[in-house]
A = this chain, B = another copy of it.
Amino acid sequence: MSAQPKQLMEQLHVLFHPASVAVVGASNDPSKWGFRIFSNILSGRFQGKVYAVNTAVAEVLNMKTYPRVTDIPDKVDLVVIVVPPPAVPQVMRDCAEKKVGGVVVITAGFAEVGGEGERLEREIVDIARSGGIRFVGPNCFGIINPHHKLYSQMPPVFPPPGPFGIISQSGNIIGTISRVLIQRAYGCSKCASIGNQADLAAEDYLEYFAQDPVTKVILCYIEGFKDGARFFRVAKAVSKTKPIILLKAGHTQAGARAAQSHTASLAGSSAVVDAMCKQAGIVRVKSLDELVDVGIAFLRQPLPKGPRVGVVTAGGGWGVLAADACAEAGLEVVTLPDETIKELDSFMPPWWNRGNPVDLVAGTSGDNLFRAVETVLRCPVVDGVIMLGLMPVMNPGQFGRRSEGDERDQVRDAMVAGAAQTIDRLVELSDRYGKPLVIASEPLGFGSQVNRRIAHAVADRNTVVYEMPHQAASVFAKLLQYSKYRQ
C-alpha cells in the first residue's frame, strides 16, 4: 500500500474530524464559492471553531476575518482554500508554515485547463510535499462528515449520518448521490470530492474508508485513475471486507472527451476496467441511481451462494418482467422441485400457476404471501428470492379511502406501522434462511407524507423496496457477483 500508511490514515482522520476549520477566501457575496462553503459549514452547525480568512474585508457573515492563515492565533486542523488559482501557492505556503492538519483546495483552473494551470498544480503539490501537508483537490467541491457535523462543501446539500462512504471525482455527483440517498431515507458516513487528485488520490480515501468503522459500503464515481494499478491493488484488499461499488464514467469517446475537460482524466478502456473490477472484487454499475440502489442492497442482504432465483409475485406481469430481467442478468429462474410445489399447493388458491415465478394472483391474502416467500426461501435449490408487490401484504383496503382529521392521522400511523411490521417479518425470513430477499413494489400511493414515513421505516431496517422488477434482478446479480469474489 502507501509508503507511510499509518501516518496517512492519521492525516485523513484529522481532515475528516477537524477541531477547527479555516476558510481562505470566505466571502459575504452569495454568488461566490467562498460564501457557499463558509455558509454551508455554519448551516451544518459544525461544533468546532470556524475561521474566515480574507485579505480584503474585516468581517464575513458577522465573523472577524484574518488576512492570512498564519494570523489565526489558534491551532488549525482543516483549511479550505477558495481563492483564485494564482493565489493558491502562497496560501499553501502559509498552511505549511502554520503546520495545519490538512487542506482542501476547492479552486478550479489547474491541470484540467492545461498550460499555466498544470504548472500551478505542480507548484502547490511541491509546496505541500515539502511542508508535510496532504490535500484534497484541487478543482473539487469539498468534504463532508455528517457524523462530525462537517459540511465543508459547495452544494447546499446536507446528508444525514449514514453508512455510505462516497468517493467522487465530481462534486455535483456527490450532491446527486446525497440527494438520491436522502430520497431513499439514507445518509452518508463521509464524502470526498477528490477533484484532480493532485495529491490525495481515490485509493487513499478507499484505504481510509476501509478502516473507518461507520462506513459500511463504499460508493465511487471515477472518471480516470491517477494510478490505476495502485487503485485496484488497494481495492482488492478493501473489498475483502467492505463492498466497493463503482460507477466508472467516460467509457465512450464522447464521455472521455468530456472527462478530459472536466477533471483532466484519461478515461481508459471500459473492457480493461471491467477486467480489473472483476479481479479486485469491485461491483461495477452503469448509472448513479444504480450506484445507490446496489449500495443499499449490500447493507444487510445475505450474499447468495448461486444464481438460482425464486420469484414470488403478487402480479403475473411483474413475474414475466422479473423473469426476463433475471435471464438477462445471468440468473436462473429455477424449476421448483415437486415437494416445494406440493407445499405451496397446500395453502395457495386453486388457480395458482404451479411454477416459478410463483404467481399469487390478485386476491391472495397477506399471510399466504409470507408463507409463499418462506416456502421458496427454504427450498434447497433456491439461492434467494425476488418478491414483487407489497400492497397485498400491507392490505391497504382495511384503511378505507376518505377518513379525516384525527382519524386520518391514526390511519396514517397504522399504515406506517403495518409497513414496518411487514418489513420486519420479511427481513427475519431472509435472515433465518441466510438467503437474500430482494423486494420490488410499485409506488405505494399512500400519499407523499405516508410514503416518506414508510421509506424511513424501511431504511431504519437497513433495507429498501425497489420500484421495478428489473432493479431487483439487477441488484440480485450484483450481490451474486460480490458473493463469488468473497467465496
| Residues A316 and B365 in contact, CB atoms below 8 Å apart | no
Given known contacts A355-B261, A448-B448, is B221 in contact with A317 (CB within 8 Å)? yes
- Contact of A326 with B by CB under 8 A: yes
- Residues of A144-174 at the interface with B, using a CB-CB cut-off of 8 Å, are 154-157, 168-173
Chain B residue numbers with a CB within 8 Å of A333 are: 254, 257-258
- Contact of A314 with B by CB under 8 A: yes
| Residues A170 and B31 in contact, CB atoms below 8 Å apart | no
**Bound-state Cα–Cα, A332 to B253, Å:** 10
Closest Cβ–Cβ distance, residue A68 to chain B (whole Å): 24
> Mask for A198-209, Cβ within 8 A of B = 1, else 0?
000000000000
Chain A residue total in the interface (Cβ 8 A): 88
| Residues B470 and A362 in contact, CB atoms below 8 Å apart | no
Chain B residue numbers with a CB within 8 Å of A172 are: 314-318, 362, 389
> Mask for A241-265, Cβ within 8 A of B = 1, else 0?
0000000011111110111011100
| Residues A363 and B250 in contact, CB atoms below 8 Å apart | no
Contact of A319 among B157, B258, B362 (CB under 8 A): B258
**Bound-state Cα–Cα, A171 to B363, Å:** 13
Chain B residue numbers with a CB within 8 Å of A353 are: 261-262
Chain B residue numbers with a CB within 8 Å of A183 are: 443
Contact of A168 among B154, B317, B327, B449 (CB under 8 A): B317
| A351 closest partner in B (C-beta) | B109
Contact of A323 among B33, B168, B258, B448 (CB under 8 A): B258
- Residues of A436-487 at the interface with B, using a CB-CB cut-off of 8 Å, are 442-445, 448-449, 451-452, 467-470
Contact of A397 among B156, B171, B452 (CB under 8 A): B156
| Residues A317 and B223 in contact, CB atoms below 8 Å apart | yes
- Contact of A182 with B by CB under 8 A: yes
| Segment of A70-78, A93-101, A232-240, A286-294 engaged in the interface with chain B | A286-294
| Residues B257 and A323 in contact, CB atoms below 8 Å apart | yes
Given known contacts A262-B316, A316-B262, is B324 in contact with A250 (CB within 8 Å)? yes
Contact of A362 among B33, B250, B401, B469 (CB under 8 A): B33
Chain B residue numbers with a CB within 8 Å of A89 are: none
| Residues B317 and A169 in contact, CB atoms below 8 Å apart | yes
| Residues A250 and B320 in contact, CB atoms below 8 Å apart | yes
- Contact of A357 with B by CB under 8 A: yes
- Contact of A274 with B by CB under 8 A: no
| Residues B170 and A316 in contact, CB atoms below 8 Å apart | yes
Contact of A351 among B113, B180, B255, B311 (CB under 8 A): B113
| Residues B30 and A262 in contact, CB atoms below 8 Å apart | no
Chain B residue numbers with a CB within 8 Å of A361 are: 108
**Bound-state Cα–Cα, A101 to B121, Å:** 78
Closest Cβ–Cβ distance, residue A276 to chain B (whole Å): 18
Closest Cβ–Cβ distance, residue A409 to chain B (whole Å): 16
**Bound-state Cα–Cα, A468 to B289, Å:** 8
- Residues of A26-50 at the interface with B, using a CB-CB cut-off of 8 Å, are 30-33, 36, 43
Closest Cβ–Cβ distance, residue A245 to chain B (whole Å): 15
Of A30, A172, A182, A362, most B-chain CB atoms within 10 Å: A172
Chain B residue numbers with a CB within 8 Å of A445 are: 157, 179, 182
| Residues A223 and B318 in contact, CB atoms below 8 Å apart | no
| A39 closest partner in B (C-beta) | B397
Given known contacts A396-B156, A448-B448, is B320 in contact with A259 (CB within 8 Å)? yes
- Contact of A87 with B by CB under 8 A: no
**Bound-state Cα–Cα, A262 to B223, Å:** 44
Chain B residue numbers with a CB within 8 Å of A180 are: 442-443, 467
| Residues A318 and B261 in contact, CB atoms below 8 Å apart | no
| Residues B324 and A173 in contact, CB atoms below 8 Å apart | no
**Bound-state Cα–Cα, A322 to B287, Å:** 10
- Contact of A102 with B by CB under 8 A: no
Of A108, A320, A389, most B-chain CB atoms within 10 Å: A320
Closest Cβ–Cβ distance, residue A283 to chain B (whole Å): 18
| A30 closest partner in B (C-beta) | B397
Chain B residue numbers with a CB within 8 Å of A443 are: 179-180, 182-183
A selection of 11 A-B contacts at a CB cut-off of 8 Å is A109-B351, A156-B397, A157-B445, A170-B315, A179-B442, A180-B442, A182-B443, A250-B324, A251-B324, A262-B316, A286-B470
| Residues B287 and A317 in contact, CB atoms below 8 Å apart | no
